[in-house]
Structure 1
Amino acid sequence: MNPNIPSFFSQTWRKTPRKNLRPSWLTILNRIVNNNCRLLLPLPTTPFTPFSQIAAFLRTIRPQNNIYIHPRLLAFGSAEIRSNWKEWTGWTQKEDWDVTDTLGGFATVKRGEKNVLVALCTGYTVNWVSNNKYDPITETYAWQRTTDGDRKWHAYVIAFISNPAGKGKEMVVWDCDPEPNLTSESRIRDALKLLQRKLWDQLHPGGRFNIKAVWYQTDTRWSGADLCLTHSLQKMEEIAKSWDDGCFEADSDRRVRGFLRLYKR
């Protein structure tokens, strides 16, 4: 018996075949909850959406196959940065704090045998750790001396696709505000933003994921609209519904069709 069905149905269902008594409205509700949670939880449309609500939406994205969708927001380069951020900002919303993750947390999470790993990255584009200088006159840190308008918050999608025979992974970056004027000769470190670059630094050849190349989205049709969160979550839904879950298929792989291949460090 489905443990999610209210107990008052239990006795009736035990006495007669389930297929004859299962109420049609219950069937519809079950399909809504299990297959189309968007009807219950709308797509976040504002960059001020609490992290807990974003994570709740991530949990409703259910791939059609064996793709892994990370349930937390990938927001910090390390546990130390995460801890410092909490101290400096006075972050007290535990429900938001608990749904953030670090690069190490994402890289080591137990996910079974999956060839495609996808995560929503989010955070400020300014390095507040190295630039968070203390002012003894005002007795404040740089973070406390800025306004929300100065803190450039951004969201984008990162995916990793395994190569055949365990030969590392391909890193896919889908950013609705891509760096302009990139070519196949551009260096990876020049193209990637702060957290994207940290991912590369930690996981590139010789690292945990042994990344062979970065595939970078260069389409600017979404740029400048201040809808990075909405576009990124829509992209994750598209990936969950349409991407193949197999290993990488060289340059002909349709999952990176239209992306720019970067291989120079």
Structure 2
Amino acid sequence: MDDVPAQVAKTTGKVSGIVIDDTAVTPKYVVGLDPSRELSIIFQIAKKSLVNKLFILTPAALLLGYFTPWAITPILMVGGAYLCFEGYEKVHSLFSKPPDVDAESRQVETITPEELEQQRVTGAVRTDIILSAEIMAIAYSQVTEQTVVNQIVVMAAVAVFITVAVYGFVGLIVKADDVGVHLAQGKYPPAAQKLGRGIVKFMPRFLSILSYVGTAAMLWVGAEIIAHGIPFTSHLLDALAQSLAHVPVVAWLAKASACAVGGLMIGFVVEKLVSLFKKAFRRQ
């Protein structure tokens, strides 16, 4: 059991990119909703994320690792393709014009705040389970030589630690503007009031930047998952990182940029395949 903290720390470092992605993507799911419901929504997402990690993904990783270890990589690559698809759709929506629709043919869907909240939670959990699957697969890869008890303990500890860290930080992000409003009140010193006003003005910009970071991270992480599942592309990425190893920041940026571009290309292909499938389904 002495190895457990070291294994948890090692695994957490290995999944730092996915954790950044998860942290950057989640806040968008509460933007525009009732501020009094923000923490409740984050708690719902965090609870489902933890349940998925502990009771679905961890047992699945252990069973697959024992009976069919060859299946883990293809499953993760499918999840990576889904992330690339989502990231490509977000990038495409930024640069494409909405289609012209006549006012008479335009249909507006009306939903209640409760239905909108449920849609946001469902969307967040759907994206989170792909990222969580990668986290738990990496956690399992770090403990394959350990006893079964140690494998379970390490993976459970990683699941709890990362879930609390990610969604705790997300909670701080989405409630930062409320903290700013509180500090801006007249009962605090002028310096605190100025800080509060600065937080209120900065947070909308920060959330906007974070949404772009989340999209880029989605493409980067998705493509890297796929690249590491193919020996040729995995060697190319490693060679790129090694060629710039003397400047670690540049090496990281080059690798992340290459993965992001590759993610856009993969997302484009997946989107076309999905469109063809939808057309064929409509004809049937």
Range class of TM-score, shorter chain: under 0.3
Q: Between Structure 1 and Structure 2, which shows a larger proportion of helix residues?
A: 2
Q: With a CA cutoff of 8 Å and minimum separation of 6, indicate the structure with the bigger relative contact order.
A: 2
After TM superposition, the score normalised by the length of structure 2 is: 0.20
After TM superposition, the score normalised by the length of structure 1 is: 0.21
